[in-house]
Structure 1
Amino acid sequence: MKRKTIILFLLVSTLSSCHIYRSYERPESVTVSDSLFRNPTETADTASIASLSWKELFQDKQLQALIEKGLAHNTDLNIARLKVKEAEALLMTSRLSYLPSVSLNPEGALTSLDGNKPSKTYNLAVSAEWEIDLFGKLLNAKRGAQAALEQSEAYKQAVQTQLVATIANSYYTLLMLDEQLKITQRTAETWTESLHAMKALKRAGQATEMAVAQTEANKLSVEASVLSVKQQINEMENSLSTLLGMPAQQIERSTLQSQEFPDTLSTGVPLELLSRRPDIRQSESQLAVAYYATNSARSAFYPSITLSGSAGWTNSAGSTITNPGQWLLSAVGSLVQPLFNKGKNIANLKIAKAQQEEALLSFRQSLLDAGAEVNDALVQWQTARQRILIDEQQCVSLRSALRSSELLMQHSSQNYLEVLTARQTLLQAELNTITDRFDEIQGVINLYHALGGGY
C-alpha cells in the first residue's frame, strides 16, 4: 500500500511539472516599461484622469442624461451583457462536470414463445457515472471557462468605455457645429454687406463688374457653407440618436463656451493600463484561455478514469423471471488510455501551443497600441491648448485692426469695403478658435478613453 502511494505521488508530481495543474501567470517576457508613455505629464500622484468617473469629467447635465440613456438602451452594450451571461452559463456547466451524472433507466418487455402466455419483465434502475479528474482535464476546462468569462466581462467594459467616449465626442461635435453655424451665418451677413458696398462703389466708378461678381460668388459660397453645416448638424443628431437606441430626433444641448475641464491632465503610470484598459484585460484573458487549452491538450495524452454504477429493482435476474422482483446492483470502473490517436493528440497540442503564442503576441501588441493611443491623445490636447493661446492673441490683434479700420473710415478716405474685409478676417479667426477648442475637448476625451476611463 505504501509503495502504491509513493508511485501515485511521483505521478502527480510529474504531471504538475508539466504545467497541467498550474494556474495561469502573466509571462515574465511581458513587461510594462516606464517609457511606454513618450511624454508623461508631471504630477506628484500616480493616479490618472481615468480614476475619475465619467460624471466627474463630463459635468454637463444634458450630456450626462444622454450617456445614461445610452448605457441603458445601446444595442451593442446590451449584446455584450448577454455575452457575459452566456459565459457565466458555460462556467456553471464546467463546474457541474465535477459532479456525477445520474439518470433513470426504466425498461419493460413482453415475451411470448410458440403462442404461450407472454412473460412480463421489468427493470427499474438508476445509473450514475463519475469521471475522476486525476489528470486535470476538468480542472483546465473550468479554469478556461473562468478566463472566458473574464474576457467577456472585459469586452463589455470595452464596449461601455467606447460608448461613453463616442456619445461625449458626438455631443461636443454638435456644440462645435452650433458655434460654426453662428459664425458662418455672421460671415454670410458680412458678405451680403460687402456685395452691397461693392455695387455702390461700382456705381461710383470705383469698382469693376468683375469685383462685384467675385464678391457675389464669395457670398454664395458662404451661404452654401451654412447649408452644409446645417446638414452636418442634422446627420450628427441622427447618428447620436441611433447610438442611444432611440428614433432620430433633435438633441437638447448647451453651448461650447459653458464646458469646463481640468486645466491639468495626468496619465498616471503605465502599469495602470493593465488594470484599467478593458481591451488589454480582454487580450490577457484570451491568453489565459489559450494557456488552459494547451493544458487540456496535454491532458489528452493521459488516461480517463470513470466510475459508473447502477441500482434498481428487477424481476429478471439471470435467466429466470421472479415475482416479486429483486434488487439489482452493479459497479464498474474503467480506464481509457489513448493509443492509436496519439498522432492526433500531438497535432492538437502543437495547434494549442501555436494559438497560445499568437495570444501572447496579441497581448504584447495591445500594450504597445495602448501606449501609442495615450501618447497621441496627450499630444493632441497639449497642441490644441497651445493653438488656442495663439488663436486668442490673433483675435485680439484682429479686433484691434477692425477698430482701427472703422476709425480710419470715419476720419479718412478709407472705404467701407476695407472694414468688411477686416471683419471677415476676424470671423475666420474666431472659427479657427472654435475648431481648436473642440480639438482640445476631443483630446481630453481620447486621453480619458485611452487610459481606460469611462467604466
Structure 2
Amino acid sequence: MKRLIPIILSILALASCSGTKNLVPADVDMPEAYMPGLESDTASIADLTWWEFYADSTLTRLMRLALDNNRDLLKAAARVEQMRQLYGIDKANFYPEIGGMAGASYETNNYNGAGTTKDPEYDLKLPVSWEINLWGSLSQAKRAGAARFKASVEDYRAMSMTIIADVAMAYYRLIALDNELSIVRQTMATRKQSLEQAKIRFDGGLTSETVYQQAKVEYSTAASLVPNLERQVAVARNALTLLLGEYPREISERGDLALNVSLPEKLPAGVPSTLLQRRPDLRAAEQRLKAAMADVGVSYADRFPRLRLGFTPGFENESLSDFFKSPFTYTVGSITGSIFDFGRKKRKYQAAIAVYDQSRYDYEKAVIQAFTEVNTALATYHHVQQARTLKVELRDAAVKYVQLAHLQYRGGTLNYIDVLDAQRRYFDAQIGVSNAIRDEYLALINLYKVLGGGWSTDDSAAI
C-alpha cells in the first residue's frame, strides 16, 4: 500500500491537469468600424425582423412558404434533431446501464466413466454496469455533444437567413424582368405607331423608302427582345418556386418595381463586434470550436484508466420449483487501462489538438470573412445608389432629347435618323434605370443579410 499510494496520487494529480488549458484561444478582435470614417452606431438594420424589414406583403407571404417548405431548411431541421438525440446519448452515459437476462441450460457430464451427472440451471438476472466519470471523460463528451447540438441550431438559423435573402433577391429579379418586359412592350407600341406613320408618309410620297425601312428595323429590334425576356422571366419564376419547395407554377400576385421611391442613403450597420452575436453562422463556428476543445479533453482523459462498477442481482437455481427461493448477486469493480500502447493515445491526443487548431482557424477565417462581407456590402450599396442617381438623370435627359428631336423633325430641321437615335437612347436609359433600381434593392438585401438579419427565434421554434 505504501508503494501504491504515491502512484495513485501521481495519477490523480496528472489527470486533474486539464488537457485543454494550454490550447491557443481564437483571435477574433475586429476593427472598430467597418469602413474608415463610418460612424459607429449600436443600432443596426439587422435588429429588425425580416417581416418588418420587407414591407411587401406578397414577398413576406412567399418567405413564409419558403420557411415551411424549402427542402434545404427541412434538412437542416432534421440535422438539429439528429444532434439533439446524439446529445441525449452523451447525457445518458452518466447513468448506469441496466440489462436483462433470462436463460435455461441443461448440461450432462461423464468424466472418466464415473457415470453421467446432470447439471440443469435456470437464470433470471438484471446486470447493472456503471462507468465512473473519474477523469472527466464523460463530462467532456457531454460538453462536445452540447456544442454540436447548438451548432446545428445555429446552422438552421443561418440557413433561414440565407433562404430569406435568396427569396427576396429572386423576387426582385423577377419583378425587375417584368418591368423590363413592360418597357419593351411599351416601346414596341410606340415604334409601331411610328412605323405606321412612316408607311403612310412613304405611300404618300412624302418620304423615301429609307425612312420607312428604318422605322421597320426599330420596331423589329424591340420585338426581337421579347422572346428572350419571356424566357428569363420563366427562369426567374422557376428559381423562386424552387426556393419555395414547389414545382414550377405561375406566381400571379407580385408587386411592381417602385421607380420613384428612393431608398435611404445611409443605414445603421452597428458595431463590428456585435456580428459575433448577430450572425448565426459565426455562432455555429464558435460552437464547433468548443466541441473540438471538448474532444481534446476526451482524448486527454482517455489516457488514464477507466473505473467501472458492476452489480448483478437475480435468481439462479437448478430447478424451477424453488427458483424464487434462490437469490443471486454478483458485484465487480474494475480498473482498465493501457500499460504500454506505444504512444497510440498520446498521438490521438495530439491529433485532437490539431483538429482544434483547424476549428480555431476556421472560426477566425469566418469572422474575417463576415467583416469583409459587411465592408463590401456597404461599399456596394453606396455605389449602386450613385449609379441609380446618374441613371435617373440620364433617363430624364433622354426624355427631353426625344421631345426636342420630334419637334425639330416636324419642323424640318432634323433628320429622322436623329429621332430614332433619341428613341434608342431613351429606351436604353429606361432599362438602365430599371436595372439600377433592381441592383439597389439587391444590395440592400445583401447588406441586411451579411449584418445578420433575416432570421428570428420565432422561426426556430419549430426545431
Report if TM-score (shorter chain) is over 0.5.
yes
CA distance in 1, matches of 2:73, 2:358: 28
Q: 1:392: how far off?
A: 2.1
Cα deviation code 1:199-231 (max 9, x no counterpart)? 67877596575x766664554333221111111
Q: 1:131: how far off?
A: 0.6
Number of positions where the alignment pairs a residue of Structure 1 with one of Structure 2: 446
Partner of 2:316: 314
What secondary structure is seen at the aligned counterpart in 1 of 2:84? Answer: helix
Identity %: 26
For 1:31-430, list aligned pairs within 5 A. 31-35=29-33, 37-39=34-36, 41-42=38-39, 45-113=41-109, 118-193=118-193, 216-251=216-251, 252-257=253-258, 262-315=264-317, 325-430=325-430
Indicate conservation of the 8 Å contact 2:65/2:244, yes or no.
Answer: yes
Cα deviation code 1:386-432 (max 9, x no counterpart)? 12222222222222222322332344443555334323322211211
Cα deviation code 1:277-307 (max 9, x no counterpart)? 1221122222112111111111121110111
What secondary structure is seen at the aligned counterpart in 2 of 1:364? Answer: helix
Q: 1:106: how far off?
A: 2.0
CA distance in 1, matches of 2:102, 2:47: 62
Cα deviation code 1:73-131 (max 9, x no counterpart)? 11110111111011110111000000011111222122345696855321222111111
CA distance in 2, matches of 1:359, 1:77: 24
CA distance in 1, matches of 2:263, 2:401: 32
CA distance in 1, matches of 2:208, 2:296: 84
Indicate conservation of the 8 Å contact 1:280/1:363, yes or no.
Answer: yes
Q: 1:374: how far off?
A: 1.0
CA distance in 1, matches of 2:359, 2:324: 64
Q: Greater CA deviation, 239-248 or 162-171? A: 239-248
Cα deviation code 1:237-263 (max 9, x no counterpart)? 112112111221111201011878555
Letter in 1 for 2:25: P
Cα deviation code 1:312-359 (max 9, x no counterpart)? 222259xxx987742222211111121232422122122211111111
CA distance in 2, matches of 1:212, 1:323: 113
CA distance in 2, matches of 1:40, 1:250: 47
CA distance in 2, matches of 1:253, 1:324: 78
CA distance in 2, matches of 1:255, 1:322: 88
CA distance in 2, matches of 1:240, 1:74: 11
Cα deviation code 1:356-404 (max 9, x no counterpart)? 1111111111111111211221112111111222222222222222232
Change (3 A) 1:215 1:299: farther
Letter in 2 for 1:306: R
Partner of 2:434: 434
CA distance in 2, matches of 1:324, 1:80: 53
Q: Greater CA deviation, 112-121 or 244-253? A: 112-121
Q: Which runs of 5+ in 1 are unaligned?
A: none
Q: Which runs of 5+ in 2 are unaligned?
A: 456-463
Q: Greater CA deviation, 87-96 or 278-287? A: 278-287
What secondary structure is seen at the aligned counterpart in 2 of 1:134? Answer: coil
Partner of 2:446: 446
Indicate conservation of the 8 Å contact 2:77/2:156, yes or no.
Answer: yes
Q: 1:5: how far off?
A: 10
Letter in 2 for 1:291: M
Indicate conservation of the 8 Å contact 1:15/1:135, yes or no.
Answer: yes
Indicate conservation of the 8 Å contact 1:40/1:267, yes or no.
Answer: no
Change (3 A) 1:19 1:127: same
CA distance in 2, matches of 1:38, 1:16: 47
TM-score between both structures, scaled by the size of structure 1: 0.88
Letter in 2 for 1:335: I
Q: CA RMSD in A?
A: 3.1
Indicate conservation of the 8 Å contact 2:314/2:328, yes or no.
Answer: yes
Q: Greater CA deviation, 344-353 or 357-366? A: 344-353
Indicate conservation of the 8 Å contact 1:316/1:325, yes or no.
Answer: no
CA distance in 1, matches of 2:108, 2:338: 44
Letter in 2 for 1:177: L
Partner of 2:27: 29
What secondary structure is seen at the aligned counterpart in 1 of 2:312? Answer: strand
Indicate conservation of the 8 Å contact 2:316/2:323, yes or no.
Answer: no
CA distance in 2, matches of 1:260, 1:97: 60
Partner of 2:458: none
Indicate conservation of the 8 Å contact 1:57/1:261, yes or no.
Answer: no
